[in-house]
Structure 1
Amino acid sequence: MERKRLVVIGNGMAGVKCVEEIYKLDSQRFHITIFGNEPRPNYNRILLSKVLQGDSAIEDIIINDWSWYEEKGIRLFTGETVVRIQTGSKYVETLSGLRAEYDSLIIATGSSAFIPSIIGVQKSGVISFRNIDDCNTMMDYAKKYRKAAVIGGGLLGLEAARGLLNLGMETDVIHNAPYLMNRQLDRMSAELLRKELEQQGMRFWLNKETESITGRSRAKGIRFSTGATLEADLVVISVGIRPNIELARSSGIETNRAIVVDDYMRTSIPGVYAVGECAEHRGIAYGLVAPLYEQGKVLARVICNQESNPYTGSVPYAQLKVSGVEVFSAGDIREDEADTALQTYDGIRGTYKKVTMRGGIVRGAILFGDTSEGTSLLGLVKREAPVSALSNASDNSGGSDQDDIVAAMPDRETVCACNAVCKSAIMCAVIEDGLQTTEQVRDRTKASSSCGGCRPMVAAVVKFALRHGKEGMASSAPAVCGCTDLSHELLKAAIAESEFANSQEAMLALGWRVASGCPACRPAIHYYIALLQPIADTSRTLASRSESYVGLSVGIVTDDQQEESAGYDSRLLGTSLYNAGETLPFPMPMRAVITSGIHNPAGVLVHDIGITGAPAGWEIYAAGHAENPVKQGQLIGIAESDSLALEYAVACMQLYRERADFGEPMWKWMEREGIIEIREILFDTDYRLELADRAGAPRLSLKSEERLGEGICSK
């Protein structure tokens, strides 16, 4: 296949991350050209403060060096600013006259520092803090001058102030709100942060409006709206960002605050996409790393013509170190957004924790001083977990002992949210690949390579893996029952490594305390033996019928007239689904329902699998539950054909069979795994087909004589 031409405007984190994802999916699909207006390769802008503070060199924050572009065959033009997009003829042109034609175009122009209308802001000695050149300017000023002022008490402003302190400058921070980081913290955590930073040498001017920059040709100080003044040789402005959209706007692409995109990152012009800080999705322009990376993954699949889960937005969160102080914030934390569900303060350890709720659902969290619970709390916010889940999270936190905290984490819990790296991936990198340091794990898995906020927890997992080895995998999970110390994960692993003829042999070999087991463990062992043996081994599969949940019940609601006009065949799809699941053992009884349209709902959203006809095709839902607690099924995909709908449903059931614990209902498994991870797996065509094959699913038959099984109810 002839390669298409892909042009990327912007060599920042969002655009290049999308290119990385494209290469993972289809490395031969495009000839790629990237334009960047800085004279250097892709680097981690979030770590600029580390360079300013002297903790890192510029080389240390480079994400992809020059050789990476060469190895991938990417044409990189640095120091080039694109000034024109000709959407009709499909080419871009730079200020220097370079021209590149494209079949697909990604706009990833990012954002610039927002400069408020302060009198004298154009004077020498007034700078922003957005790139490496700004870092160099600040370091040069520190060699000549003594006093600095930072306008802006948000994250970036505080990091700049910390860097200026390290450079030996007296530093004042001016903030127009009553407390610091007011978008991420509440008043109490902000007050704790202020006291800590004051001890480090910063001075704060809160609730102050800057009226002008004093001095003739260069900055000499600041005058507030009250008339008070403050001396300063260097003024750093850090009050927010402004998406770079002039190029898109002048090219006829729809813009609002940023470039308007849909759920697949498409702009108003066909073949033109936008991603990152310059993109506005459902009225929101994100400035955090994780949402930008999530957008990049969706866009990569779209641009490679692969099925993609739509981007539906992100939970805003930040896990970071502010001048050496660990801080975590996620979701809705302001008083007008949610109520307080949990609030604790430890004056001895200097730690603070607040969790918010609305309507009985966890909505947000703040951690100060100890962010070890950050990833688990973020998971609760993303899953919209009930507040009752907080008790389990608190029980698992284990205080300040990092070893206990890591041991209590499920293996599939996300540690690095920016790059979606879970605990087990880090453990495997250490145990199986022989890695020894956090830096080696970062290079291999990308964990902590973006914002760096998760680095303490990554380091804790690495230490845990080095100390405990394979025994640390899933070691914290509760035992199946009192007959054994093995968790479900360890029991499955033990059964997978052996060929037990029956549960009695398994219990004997695995050192069961009660020779005959109990009602809790016997069916679990039956199930795992059946699950982990080849499908063809019917004697073992049927042997598990007595105590395991075998088979799938399917309900079908049809409307012949509607089906004829829409081209659906719910009977055929229902029969094929029943045939695929009738002999399979499941962790819990499985129920599915299929209906030809939304006017015949049939409880699609409250069954384990629910499939309904819609204008775009079959909509497939999973993990609904009609009894207490009532759970609404989650949309896992839309299929244009009957065979693809069957493929989605069977693959989802097989994933549930393989990953759930025996006795764990599908809705609880999906809450634990997370709908985003499940969708990503099912949208991977090869993985989806592999799951369907492992389930032994027959291809959808078009024969009219297909039988209706006894587990099918047709109306």
Structure 2
Amino acid sequence: MAEPLVIVGKGMAATRLVDELSQRALGRYSIAVIGAEPRLAYNRVLLSPLLAGEIGVPEIELKPAAWWGARGVSTFYGRAVTSIDRAAKSVTLEGGLCLPYARLVLATGSTPLKPPFPGIGLPGIATFRDTADVEALRAQAERGARIVVIGGGLLGLEAAYGLSRAGGKVTVLHLVDRLMERQLDAEGAGLLAHAMNKRGITIRLNAATRGFVGTDRVEGVELADGSVVPADLVVIAIGVRPNAELAKAAGLTVNRGILVDDRLASADASIFAIGECAEHRGQVYGLVEPAYEQARVLAAHLTGKEASYAGSLLATNLKVSGVGVFSAGDFEAGADDEIVVLRDRAAGIYRKFVLREGRLAGCILVGETSGALFYLGLIRSGQDITAIRADLPFGEAYCVREAA
């Protein structure tokens, strides 16, 4: 008889886990997937082009309803889990339904940070996290609203791009001196900012938010220097925090996220966590690829294979405001490291490679990201690249030719 496996959360991590399990041992588990949003699982990475009107809602769905049914998965959408009873090995949903489990996987994701700035409760202050946000934001952007996006990281720039494409007049406020400081160095960030300016998006750096002004709704963002940026709509995109409250209430160990070991198990050996809600070796990952790697490891473990998760190499590969951006590894060079750079400002291209003891330690690509997977492979493998050093900026074809 199939063991009951309950997955709380129906995002990208949960979907990949079901996919991996169905490929490895279809029918071994009786799977139930529970999600608070009342719709099929979808790709959050595509929310920006959805906001921009470049794609439609059907195009962001991860799997059709028939896919879930063909794998015997019971889906409970629009119904959040309210509690976990570890002693009884069951979860309770809104409305009172109780589901038993032999194994429980928490893939509850994260929620946007919304700091308690003065005026934070004014209407017209929003976040950018799900399809409901997209619908509300697009309606404002299409009217040509003045929109301020707070946050110049990945999420903020994706929101800015989508809002600008939808018709909004967008200003991005960022607390520090460069965009995407976790993924780009100063030169790469400067090139990206220039490209966004050319697309009509205003960038203001070193801009610390003090609060919001307005009467019936938000009318502007007040900065620490006393200036006010007019706004009909404000989107806060300064980061996320793991959804770990359910786990904490159940008595599991929680730091920033739900603490898991190399098998992705929590303090309770029958409860696991993957994706943005999980904390592994002190690291909480906010990117898709680590969640997918965790899903693969957990699926192997749940099907009786020896598998362990040792962490993920952080890599970002996407288009920001239509500009290709790739970043991986240690892109800030140390005192003994060597830097190889290719730059063409007129073409909007910047390529930086950090070499450490004859190996590729990290790289940044802005404007032209071809070869990104090749470079990622070199970083992961740690192979000696001395023979292809001179051709490194020109991509895989040149490097392979040189090596031959």
TM-score range, shorter-chain basis? over 0.9
Residue deviations 1:419-450 (CA, integer Å, cap 9, x gap): xxxxxxxxxxxxxxxxxxxxxxxxxxxxxxxx
Residue deviations 1:355-398 (CA, integer Å, cap 9, x gap): 11344442110011111121111111112233515527628727
Q: Point out the more displaced range, 173-182 or 347-356.
A: 347-356
Structure-1 residue corresponding to 2:250: 251
Structure-2 residue corresponding to 1:99: 98
Equivalent residues of 1:145, 1:233 under 8 A apart: no
Quote how far apart the aligned CAs of 1:145 are: 5.5
Equivalent residues of 1:376, 1:393 under 8 A apart: no
Counterparts of residues 56-67 of structure 1 (less than 5 Å): 56-67=55-66
- Within the alignment, does 1:321 sit opposite 2:319 as a pair? yes
Counterparts of residues 412-423 of structure 1 (less than 5 Å): none
**TM-score, structure 2 length as denominator?**
0.95
Quote how far apart the aligned CAs of 1:341 are: 2.4
Ranges in structure 1 where 5+ consecutive residues have no aligned partner: 399-404, 411-475, 480-715
Q: Distance in 2 between matches of 1:244 and 1:179?
A: 29
Structure-1 residue corresponding to 2:223: 224
Give % identity: 38
Quote how far apart the aligned CAs of 1:189 are: 0.8
Equivalent residues of 1:340, 1:354 under 8 A apart: no
Which one-letter code corresponds to 1:385 in the other structure?
Answer: Q
Stretches of 4+ aligned residues off by more than 4 angstroms = 335-338, 476-479
Which one-letter code corresponds to 2:97 in the other structure?
Answer: L
- Within the alignment, does 1:242 sit opposite 2:241 as a pair? yes
Relative distance call for 1:393 and 1:316 in structure 2 (3 A) is farther
Ranges in structure 2 where 5+ consecutive residues have no aligned partner: none
Relative distance call for 1:87 and 1:192 in structure 2 (3 A) is same
Equivalent residues of 1:330, 1:364 under 8 A apart: yes
Relative distance call for 1:389 and 1:315 in structure 2 (3 A) is farther
Relative distance call for 1:19 and 1:237 in structure 2 (3 A) is same
Quote how far apart the aligned CAs of 1:349 are: 2.9
Structure-1 residue corresponding to 2:365: 367
Q: Distance in 2 between matches of 1:334 and 1:177?
A: 17
Q: Distance in 1 between matches of 2:403 and 2:387?
A: 16
Which one-letter code corresponds to 1:36 in the other structure?
Answer: G
Quote how far apart the aligned CAs of 1:340 are: 4.3
Q: Distance in 2 between matches of 1:257 and 1:387?
A: 38
Structure-2 residue corresponding to 1:489: none
Structure-2 residue corresponding to 1:533: none
Q: Point out the more displaced range, 126-135 or 109-118.
A: 109-118
Q: Distance in 2 between matches of 1:63 and 1:338?
A: 45
Which one-letter code corresponds to 2:272 in the other structure?
Answer: Y
SS in 2 for 1:188: helix
Residue deviations 1:676-699 (CA, integer Å, cap 9, x gap): xxxxxxxxxxxxxxxxxxxxxxxx
Relative distance call for 1:102 and 1:389 in structure 2 (3 A) is farther
Residue deviations 1:323-356 (CA, integer Å, cap 9, x gap): 1111110011235698442122123432111111
Relative distance call for 1:30 and 1:223 in structure 2 (3 A) is same
Relative distance call for 1:229 and 1:36 in structure 2 (3 A) is same
Q: Distance in 1 between matches of 2:101 and 2:57?
A: 33
Equivalent residues of 1:258, 1:280 under 8 A apart: yes
Which one-letter code corresponds to 1:362 in the other structure?
Answer: L
- Within the alignment, does 1:353 sit opposite 2:343 as a pair? no
Counterparts of residues 453-532 of structure 1 (less than 5 Å): none
Counterparts of residues 184-223 of structure 1 (less than 5 Å): 184-223=183-222
Structure-2 residue corresponding to 1:182: 181
Query: Over the residues paired in the alignment, what is the CA RMSD in angstroms?
Result: 2.0
Q: Distance in 2 between matches of 1:119 and 1:251?
A: 34
Structure-2 residue corresponding to 1:278: 277
- Within the alignment, does 1:76 sit opposite 2:63 as a pair? no
- What is the count of residue pairs matched by the alignment? 404
Residue deviations 1:597-645 (CA, integer Å, cap 9, x gap): xxxxxxxxxxxxxxxxxxxxxxxxxxxxxxxxxxxxxxxxxxxxxxxxx
SS in 2 for 1:89: coil
Q: Distance in 1 between matches of 2:193 and 2:316?
A: 18
Equivalent residues of 2:391, 2:399 under 8 A apart: no
Which one-letter code corresponds to 1:295 in the other structure?
Answer: Q
Quote how far apart the aligned CAs of 1:231 are: 0.4
Which one-letter code corresponds to 1:279 in the other structure?
Answer: A
Quote how far apart the aligned CAs of 1:306 are: 1.8
SS in 1 for 2:225: coil
SS in 2 for 1:40: coil
Residue deviations 1:189-224 (CA, integer Å, cap 9, x gap): 111111111011011111011011111231111000
**TM-score, structure 1 length as denominator?**
0.55
Q: Distance in 2 between matches of 1:336 and 1:477?
A: 27
Which one-letter code corresponds to 1:325 in the other structure?
Answer: V
Equivalent residues of 2:387, 2:402 under 8 A apart: no
Relative distance call for 1:223 and 1:360 in structure 2 (3 A) is same
Q: Which has the higher strand share?
A: 2
Relative distance call for 1:348 and 1:205 in structure 2 (3 A) is closer
Counterparts of residues 109-188 of structure 1 (less than 5 Å): 109-144=108-143, 146-188=145-187
Counterparts of residues 312-711 of structure 1 (less than 5 Å): 312-335=310-333, 339-388=337-386, 390-391=388-389, 394=392, 397=395, 405=397
Quote how far apart the aligned CAs of 1:27 are: 0.1
Quote how far apart the aligned CAs of 1:125 are: 0.6
Which one-letter code corresponds to 2:21 in the other structure?
Answer: I
Q: Which has the higher helix share?
A: 1
Q: Point out the more displaced range, 138-147 or 294-303.
A: 138-147
Equivalent residues of 1:181, 1:190 under 8 A apart: yes
